Amino acid sequence: MKKWMKTCISALLIGTASLALYGCGSDSQKSGAAPETLRIGVTNFADSLEPTDNYFAWVVMRYGLGECLVKFDQEMNPVPWLASSWSIGKDQLTWTFQINDRAVFSNGNKVTADAVKSSIERVFEKSDRARTFFDYTEMKADGQTLIIKTDKPVPGLPGMLADPLFIIIDTTVTDRDYQSMGPICTGPYMVKSFSKAKAEMEANPNYWDGTVPFKKVEIPSIDDPNTRAMALQSGEVDMAVNISPGDLKLFTDSSRYRISEIASLRTVLARINMSPGHPLQDPKVRAALISSTDRKTYCENLLQNTFITGKAPVPPSLNYGFDQLTDPNNYNPDRARQLLSEAGWIDTDGDGYVDKDGKPLEVNFVYYSSRAELPLFAEATQADAKKAGIKVNLKNVDYNILDSMAKKGDYDLCISNIITANTGDPAVYLNWYWKTNSSGSNPQNGSGFSSTAFDTLSDRLSQEFDPALRRQYMIDMQQIILNEGAGLFFGYPKTNMVSSTSITGAEILPADYYWLTKDIRPAKS
Amino acid sequence: MDSLISGIKHNWHFAFFSILALLLLFTALSAPWIAPYHPETAEMKNAFLPPSDGHWFGTDKLGRDCFSRVIYGARNSLSSVLILVCLVFSVGTSLGIISGYYGGKIDTVIMRLADIMISFPGIILAIAMAGIMGGSMLNAILALLSATWPKYARLSRSLVLKIKQKEFIEAAHINGGTQFHILIRHVLPNILPLLVITAASDIGGLMLELAGLSFLGFGIQPPAPEWGAMINEGRQQLQTAPWLMIYPGLAIFTTVVIFNLWGDSLRDVLDPHSVHQERISS
């Protein structure tokens, strides 16, 4: 009897204690809300603020620290930022950028053409990604005028310089730990402290482009989408980026929250490894796998219409022929089974999976889970592929590991959520993932995909200035990818930023590296 | 065995919890007949349906029937915890007996190894090991085995050291009993009840630890149903589809409570002496 009593009392005590703790938690969060502090819940992949490492420059820009010469507007047109204007010479190789005369770094140093030159040179020294955008033969600085001469015509150069990789930093500062404090930049905020788990920012006293609305900004990394939503509900953060599709309906009360949602420039796709030795080397097996996936249901039912059904590499939000492209591998489970049997894969042992020469057809699918939709697409693919007889083994890894696995080709299927037009048009994206990678010439393409027709179009595109022709080349390149089954395009996300009504100006833009901007202000000021 | 049968007859607690534990095992074994759907059959058009007549526990993110997954999950959860307990019990106990009985260098080596393992927090060590070896139920079991065996080794060693000095062991030596014979016939039966009780009481705790590893993604991999993994899947829809967490959570709760109370009542049956003493002292 005594034992029962003890159990009951312990249960009661635990219950009371957890209630008490819950009470403490919400109280302290609410009382800690100071109006001069902005708190943003984000997902963060970076453990360093060195802009030339990995994609960490994105975080430097997202956190309101760094700015480029050029930025993108709502329609992805390049517009002036640190550069006030630009032009191209008749030789189609010489670009002249006028640097804004008012621009200063957060340490008070003036942003001169010489400083910009030195910053761009540093990017080319330190990042092997820089040359995948463009290469220059000469760069000259004169006062506020910067001249960049490229080795071949680069029609999209201003858009390329809008990529966060080309954030302008003060290279004269050498005694600074870029990994933990970031470089000296020109953005509205400066780093006070940074770790992967939490960043604290303070206003840049020398900001050149208007007043900085908040004295302090706290950015906790809340990688779990559900926790991020709850942090916003409890008032722990004032705004959150990328609330998961299912949770958006929790924020429909417009007196408390504002949802900024936009059809993004992103594609969720699985890269398909077709290198020798991988099961998806066989085009029929690739086609069977793609045909077995019911992507319409994934986007409409599982993700509750927060995704547009996938078909082609470039999303329909960009005008690159989405409707005129044809996918030969539409959802058709019967065709999938037919293709597999044509390729010699038949279920001989009755285990539900097809096999050939005594080996079952197994495909390794690598994914990461900090974006809520990726595990869902991965598991849905596993379920649908099983119906066709393909065994999909799921492997959940950290994003940084996934990135290096993708480059090394250490996968059969590798899913990610990729921005397709970070330079204004999808040329760089198409080249990165599908242009032939011969001995490291294109490190992003770890899939083994190589097509002469694609490479020829890509070479023509790189020198073409006529927008209509450029568009047509990119449409043709996409059709080649679709015909070859060189990617499994799941869908195109609508991206969102949800903010409390205590702040204004939290707008998500198509290029999703503009998160914390000077336009986010307290509602009452 | 006699004491168990007599326990069922005379100790209603033990009888009651034994029946419940058997019922759980029966449910797990007869999952294909109880579950209305196959646990991995995804009807994606029916995703996130709330509990209804057609789907008692609702459906999950891929439109799979949660009731069927909970029932099938019992197979994975129960079988893995029982395998784990048997492994921990046999590995830990064997090493402890060898260490205690033979002493000397063997004792030092085994016990220092146990000290090293015990100096790490158990679940952290298990997470690290499962992380290194990769996610699978076998790896999760091995990880927890490596973190838990020292407890049994130390317990059985201390029991062996106590018994080794007894006169009946010396008598067995004098009568020409081999070491193996003495270990099996005289030492083991005398230390077994306490170790069995410990193992039975550990089922609940180990089940929580296994579910914890699965929750973190180190256990069984999708699409196989397992309660810890199901809670993790449901976590994403905590506010919009709470049934995805509630039912697997209840399943774990019920199972852990049943096995914990069964372990307690087993102690009453196998070791009435300690209960008697507890009553006198309190």
Please report the ipTM that was assigned to this predicted complex: 0.73
Structure letter (DSSP) for residue A247: G
Q: Check: CB of residue A417 under 8 Å from CB of residue A374.
A: yes
With beta carbons under 8 A apart, name residues in chain A contacting B44: 294, 297-298, 301-302, 380, 383
Top-confidence range, A115-129, B135-149, B225-239: A115-129
Mean pLDDT of B246-253: 96
pLDDT in tens, A44-55: 889 999 999 988
pLDDT given at position A27: 40
Instruction: Please give the C-alpha separations between residue A43 and each of A46, A221, A508, A518, B2, in angstroms, as whole numbers.
Output: 9, 5, 15, 20, 60
pLDDT given at position A24: 44
Q: Do A226 and B264 touch (CB under 8 A)?
A: no
For residue A461, report the phi and psi dihedrals to the nearest 5 degrees: -60, -40
pLDDT given at position A323: 92
pLDDT given at position B277: 55
Q: Is the pLDDT of residue A525 over 70?
A: no
In chain B, which residues touch A (CB < 8 A)?
40, 42, 44-45, 47-48, 61-63, 135, 217, 221-223, 235-241, 264, 282
pLDDT given at position B218: 84
What is the four-CA torsion angle of A406, A411, A413, A416, rounded to 10 degrees?
Answer: -30
Which residue of chain B has the CA closest to A380? Answer: B62
Distance from CA of B115 to the nearest CA of A (A): 32
A158 CB-contact burial (10 Å; exposed 0-12 / middle 13-18 / buried 19+): buried
Q: Is the pLDDT of residue A30 over 70?
A: no
Distance from CA of B32 to the nearest CA of A (A): 17
Q: Is the pLDDT of residue A23 over 50?
A: no
What is the four-CA torsion angle of B206, B210, B213, B215, rounded to 10 degrees?
Answer: -120
pLDDT given at position A400: 79
pLDDT given at position B6: 75
* pLDDT bucket at A12, cuts 50 / 70 / 90: low
- The beta-carbon neighbor of A226 closest among B221, B222, B235 is B235
pLDDT given at position B273: 64
Q: Is the pLDDT of residue A371 over 90?
A: no
* Distance, CA of A15 to CA of B132 (rounded, Å): 36
Interface of A with B in 297-326 (CB under 8 A): 297-298, 301-302
pLDDT in tens, A128-162: 889 888 999 999 999 999 999 998 888 889 999 99
Q: Do A226 and B44 touch (CB under 8 A)?
A: no
With beta carbons under 8 A apart, name residues in chain B contacting A249: 240
Q: Do B61 and A376 touch (CB under 8 A)?
A: yes
Mean pLDDT of B245-254: 96
- Whose tokens are 């079991």? That residue is B141
Is A397 part of the contact surface with chain B (CB cutoff 8 Å)? no
pLDDT given at position A36: 87
Q: Could you tell me where the DSSP H helices lie in B216-242?
A: 227-235
Mean model confidence pLDDT for chain B? 89
pLDDT in tens, A196-206: 999 999 999 99
With beta carbons under 8 A apart, name residues in chain B contacting A297: 44-45
Mean pLDDT of A268-281: 94
* Distance, CA of A366 to CA of A446 (rounded, Å): 14
CATH class of B57-281: mainly alpha
Distance from CA of A393 to the nearest CA of B (A): 8
Please give the single-letter amino acid code of residue B65.
Answer: D
Distance from CA of A108 to the nearest CA of B (A): 46
pLDDT in tens, B114-125: 999 888 887 888
Structure letter (DSSP) for residue A495: E
Q: Is the pLDDT of residue B100 over 50?
A: yes
Is A524 part of the contact surface with chain B (CB cutoff 8 Å)? no
* pLDDT bucket at A456, cuts 50 / 70 / 90: very high
With beta carbons under 8 A apart, name residues in chain A contacting B264: 3
- The beta-carbon neighbor of A383 closest among B221, B223, B238 is B223
Distance from CA of B223 to the nearest CA of A (A): 7
* Distance, CA of A69 to CA of A75 (rounded, Å): 18
Q: Is the pLDDT of residue B242 over 80?
A: yes
pLDDT given at position A75: 79
Q: Is the pLDDT of residue A31 over 50?
A: no
With beta carbons under 8 A apart, name residues in chain A contacting B45: 297, 301
Please give the single-letter amino acid code of residue A522.
Answer: P
pLDDT in tens, A171-181: 999 889 999 99
Distance from CA of A243 to the nearest CA of B (A): 11
pLDDT given at position B131: 75
pLDDT given at position B282: 46
This prediction has a pTM of: 0.77
Mean pLDDT of A340-359: 92
Is A3 part of the contact surface with chain B (CB cutoff 8 Å)? yes
* pLDDT bucket at A215, cuts 50 / 70 / 90: very high
Provide CB contacts within 8 A for B154, sequence distance 6+: B96, B111, B114, B118
Mean pLDDT of A462-474: 91
Q: Of residues A186 and B282, which shows the higher confidence score?
A: A186
Is A2 part of the contact surface with chain B (CB cutoff 8 Å)? yes
Provide CB contacts within 8 A for B182, sequence distance 6+: B169, B172, B173
Q: Give the whole-number percent of chain B exceeding pLDDT 70.
A: 95
Q: Do B222 and A379 touch (CB under 8 A)?
A: yes
Q: Do A302 and B47 touch (CB under 8 A)?
A: yes
pLDDT in tens, B8-48: 777 888 999 999 999 999 999 999 999 999 999 889 999 99
Mean model confidence pLDDT for chain A? 89
For chain B, the domains span 57-281
Rg (CA), chain A: 25
Q: Is the pLDDT of residue A1 over 50?
A: no
pLDDT given at position A21: 45
Q: Of residues B281 and A142, which shows the higher confidence score?
A: A142
pLDDT in tens, A225-239: 888 999 999 999 999
With beta carbons under 8 A apart, name residues in chain B contacting A372: 236
Closest CA to A282 of A510, A508, A484: A484
Q: Is the pLDDT of residue A8 over 80?
A: no
Q: Do B236 and A372 touch (CB under 8 A)?
A: yes
Q: Give the whole-number percent of chain A exceeding pLDDT 90.
A: 71
Is A385 part of the contact surface with chain B (CB cutoff 8 Å)? no
- The beta-carbon neighbor of B45 closest among A224, A247, A301 is A301
Q: Is the pLDDT of residue B59 over 80?
A: yes
* Distance, CA of A85 to CA of A79 (rounded, Å): 8
* pLDDT bucket at A4, cuts 50 / 70 / 90: low
* Distance, CA of A262 to CA of A259 (rounded, Å): 10
